Chains A and B, each alone.
Chain A
């Protein structure tokens, strides 16, 4: 019963009912009295157009005379007044059909965008102290609660695994399709899918602050900042509508004054003209394309922060890169070990143990070097120097020359000590460890791809030592490299590049380079769901570490910009042609309604193409 009422209220039901009255009026026009036929036409009109008329009256009340529904109403009523009964009803029915299609298309694109964005469940399953389970709204879960995530479920809130292990599909948050193994101690970002295991996790954030929520908020706000194309449209409709109204008045009044046409004919032409003038298709065409682009890019782990970013990304000429953490993995590997008067395994056992409590990036590679290690009795970290630890009574110091000086360790002469890790055991110098930062395997290809997409110059700006930076530059094929830059110098260098040349992109990992991200025409933050300041400063956020996403972002931007221009040209073109036809009396109401609603539907359908990100 409820469904029946719903159906009767729907546009489809109105269209069918109105059509029945309309067709019977057309068939029986000759056989029944004129009054009867008119009654049938009016019934058909009221069924189809009742809602439209009410909206039109509301439009007049708020002095909005160029409302689409108001225009349709005067067109329809105007046609009836001059005796075009069929035309008047048909316009309304056709308009309703068009509206139904338009709503369907909008609904459909909203649904597909929503499914792309549907990356986080609203509910979380909590485990109480006695092991009982309660399902709660994710928003109501306090930080530090224990939640359970079953195979196939998505992680509702950012959390850390406390029990269990599983393969985790991170694709909706990072765009990476290969599942990652996760176990106790690993962080789970909201939006990850647990594929094959049962996980207990402790929440570390509230749902509203979790990664998925932050990303959704970003995408939702993205459309609010206006792009150049959008403001073009706004400017355009600003002049467009008044001009069209004036022309319509002239068309209605001038020919009859000079006795060229009957008033009825020219009023009809003017009405047609007004219907065509509705700016809805134009206004919908651009934001819809950008929205599709944002959704499509998000599904690849690329976040565009707003429509204006598309045009800038599509025309990047210069790309500047940070080195550590951006072009390199930011993970150090041990590349060479030299030891003196000590067994190599023994030394590395002591080093790994000494570093095991440290969180420094360099410590990561040292503590995992040796399989055998023990927890030190005590350990002390000296910022910027290194670590000293007591391992079963042996004092092991691992760090740079300054640390050695601190403990009065005598260093041998004739060894290049810069950029090396030195090891002293019981205050005696025992070894040198050389470490290096690994280049990402795709770095060279990404630069090549960028060049093929029209990037004229690639730069490397780094705080690292000059020789290293120059070597990296040669390895991946960038044009200019600058090393030993402080964050401030990096920023200054970038400012000069920007003022000199075309649209500049700066790619960084968001650590220490937020100012550079902000000043570049396009700031790209790599691999950062966690780095809020970087996300804030950047225009483009790449959620994985993969550099190939940058050329892909350019392709997505170009496709989206193309689609938005296609929509503008198509909408303006069709309207323009039909307007001119209408001006000379060749276009009837039917064509006019198509120019309004039909064009909008086609523009929406075209925009849906932007949802599909182009391949590299």
Chain B
């Protein structure tokens, strides 16, 4: 399943790339891409919608307090 989120609070494309690669490592997330300029996070996942959101939010939160993910 492909899900798209809005992700705000990223500082720079470098951080975006780092966060995306950490999200890639989450179990059940097949791919995670962050477009820094449009502030869009696109994930391919086998997880159920809420579970995916939880997992991604957790990763974002541990990365920086300022980062927020919205549907």
Binding site for B on A (CB under 8 A): 54-55, 58, 61-62, 64, 67-68, 99, 102-103, 109-110, 113, 219-221, 223-224, 279-280, 283-284, 287-288, 291, 600
Contacts and interface: CB of A to CB of B under 8 A. Distances in A.
Contacts of B12: 68, 102, 280, 283-284, 600
Contact of A284 (B13, B22, B38, B64): B13
A279 B12 CA distance: 10
Interface of B: 11-15, 17-18, 22, 33, 35-40, 42, 62-65
Given A58-B64, A62-B62, A220 B40 contact: yes
A224 B33 contact: yes
Nearest to A295: B37
A449 B70 CA distance: 47
A600 B63 CA distance: 22
B16 to A, nearest CB: 9
A113 B14 contact: no
- Interface majority SS on A: helix, strand, loop or mixed? helix
Given A68-B12, A224-B42, A284-B14, A62 B63 contact: yes
26 contacts: A54-B65, A55-B64, A58-B62, A58-B63, A62-B22, A62-B62, A62-B63, A68-B11, A103-B11, A109-B37, A110-B37, A110-B38, A110-B39, A219-B38, A220-B40, A223-B38, A224-B35, A279-B14, A280-B12, A280-B13, A283-B12, A283-B13, A283-B17, A284-B13, A284-B14, A288-B13
A288 B22 CA distance: 23
Contacts of B64: 55, 58
Those 9 A-B pairs whose CB atoms lie nearest each other, nearest first:
A283-B14, A291-B37, A220-B38, A280-B12, A223-B35, A224-B33, A284-B13, A280-B14, A283-B13
Select the residue from B12, B18, B63 with max chain A CB neighbours within 10 A: B12
Contacts, number: 53
Nearest to A113: B37
B44 to A, nearest CB: 12
Given A283-B12, A283-B13, A64 B18 contact: yes
Contacts of B22: 62
Contacts of A224: 33, 35, 42
A287 B37 contact: yes
A22 to B, nearest CB: 24
B39 A287 contact: no
Select the residue from B14, B15, B36, B63 with max chain A CB neighbours within 10 A: B14
A99 B35 CA distance: 20
B37 A223 contact: yes
Contacts of A102: 12
Given A109-B37, A283-B12, 9 more contacts: A58-B62, A58-B64, A67-B15, A68-B14, A99-B11, A220-B38, A223-B35, A223-B37, A284-B13
B24 to A, nearest CB: 13
A61 B11 CA distance: 18
Contacts of B15: 67
